[in-house]
Structure 1
Amino acid sequence: MQRYFVHEEQVNNNHITIEGDDVHHITRVMRMEPGDELYCCLNGKTALCTIAEITNTFVKVAVVQWVEERSELPVAITIASGLPKGDKLDLILQKGTELGAAAFLPFQASRSIVKWDSKKSEKKVERWAKIAKEAAEQAHRSIVPSVTAPLSFKELLAASAQYDACIVAYEEEARKGEKANFVQTLEKLQPGQRLLIVFGPEGGLTEDEVQRLCEHTFVSCSLGPRILRTETAPLYALSAVSYHFELMR
């Protein structure tokens, strides 16, 4: 069943008004009619609804019941990616959302080839948010991950203070055969806590960047013996978190 994410201001008692691009999706793509059912997600809660009214600009639905769902990871994972080139970040956002990421923090790394254009910032962040929203709907998530405009490395360090644990995936750890740090970090986390994972761009993080991260309570770790691409590593990490917290328990 289709689901749509809504905000507080769209809710009036037991009715929800769906607006924007979702109206086109409901009426033109899904060809729904009054009486059809759909899900509306609000602040992590999900409501089963029936369509009460359809117009050219909005769809009004009536809440039938609030349903219990468990589609979110027990721990909130934020993915911090050094800006990669091309559309690799789009892939990280889409697949990372499907795999359960709670937020994304792109950042300007020393070896990032792409330089952030502040003039195009608003439109690009809007596009990223749309990618996350559509992926969250497809994956039956109850929240849409947040996506920020790219941070500087200094801003990333400051933001790390908000988390219960922070790790940095570093290929040199894999070359040295390090195997325990990622698992040990996950074993210390409790449901409801927040984990920040930092990944470098195509050229990886510099030794200085990793050192500065470790000075800010980050733990440097490998993701196994193979060296993963910048767009593959976050997806591997999220899959490992899901296995640890959802399949092993």
Structure 2
Amino acid sequence: MQRYFVEPGQMSGDAVVLLGEDARHLATVMRSKPGDEIIACDGSGRDCLAEIVNIENGRIEARVLRELASASEMAWRVTVAQSLPKGDKLETVIQKGTEAGAAAFLPFVSKRTVVQYDERKEAKRLERWRKIAKEAAEQAHRSVVPEVAQVAGWKALLGRMADFDLALLCYEEEGRRGAGLRPVLARFGSSLPEGREGAPRLLVIVGPEGGFDEDEARQAEAAGAVCVGLGRRILRTETAALMALAAIGYESGEMGEARHV
């Protein structure tokens, strides 16, 4: 069944309205008609089953049949901070990271970032990144569209680490020394108090193609991050976040009975 994210103002207690590209897709590509059912989501966790009642002039109106339980989000809320990679690699990180359960993405610029950041192109790129997140969330049957933030500088990223319960810097030197992600996640999970309200907030920080230098690793540690390795192999920058998300998903119970929630 087709799933669509709509703006909160397009979904009331008993009605849903689809506009623009979503309405065109449903009407022309899916050839939907009155009486067909869809799943509508407000992007903040509310999902409902709705029946189309009217299709007219790029606007689709539907009535809410019933609320649906939302059970597709990770127990731990993970933000992926990705240093800008070359080409369209960030699009891959956002698409696959959304499928893997990331709650948000924070692109940033670090010392070894090769991409020349151009503020004039920022709005267009950000719009595309957010569209990719929305489409991936629909495909993966997510209840929440991950936020994609504006590109930040390294100092700004350091300043945001205090907003998270655990910040992890993916650093290949730690992998060579055998200091892996798993024990850090296990200690973090076991430290969570029973009955805690709200999902734990984690930040996963991934460097560009050349990785982080030692000064950046030390700066991140001073700001509260834990440097971790993702195994003994060298990963591409677009692979690292997905490895971390898989490990976090496993430790938080994504693959079976929850261990730490």
Give TM class, smaller chain. Answer: over 0.9
C-alpha displacement of 1:164: 1.1
Identity of aligned residues (%): 45
CA contact (8 A) 2:109 2:151 kept: yes
Segment drifting more, 181-190 vs 30-39: 181-190
**Distance in 2 of aligned mates of 1:109 and 1:183:** 29
Cα-Cα RMSD? 1.4
Deviations 1:122-143 (A, max 9, x none): 1110000000000000000000
C-alpha displacement of 1:69: 2.3
In structure 2, the residue corresponding to 1:86 is in which secondary structure? coil
Q: 2:215 aligns with which of 208, 220, 225?
A: 208
**Distance in 2 of aligned mates of 1:12 and 1:110:** 47
TM-score, normalised to structure 2's length? Answer: 0.92
In structure 2, the residue corresponding to 1:231 is in which secondary structure? helix
Q: Which residue of 2 aligns with 1:184?
A: 187
Matched, 1:48 2:56: no
C-alpha displacement of 1:9: 1.2
Map 1:1-249 to 2 at 5 A. 1-42=1-42, 43-179=44-180, 180-189=183-192, 192-245=199-252, 246-249=254-257
Seen in structure 2, the aligned counterparts of structure 1 residues 106 and 186 have a Cα distance that, compared at 3 Å, is farther
Seen in structure 2, the aligned counterparts of structure 1 residues 231 and 62 have a Cα distance that, compared at 3 Å, is same
C-alpha displacement of 1:187: 4.2
**Distance in 1 of aligned mates of 2:116 and 2:146:** 24
CA contact (8 A) 1:182 1:222 kept: no
CA contact (8 A) 1:103 1:147 kept: yes
Letter in 1 for 2:172: E
Q: Which runs of 5+ in 1 are unaligned?
A: none
CA contact (8 A) 1:186 1:241 kept: no
Q: Which runs of 5+ in 2 are unaligned?
A: none
**Distance in 2 of aligned mates of 1:111 and 1:184:** 31
Letter in 1 for 2:15: H
**Distance in 2 of aligned mates of 1:53 and 1:156:** 47
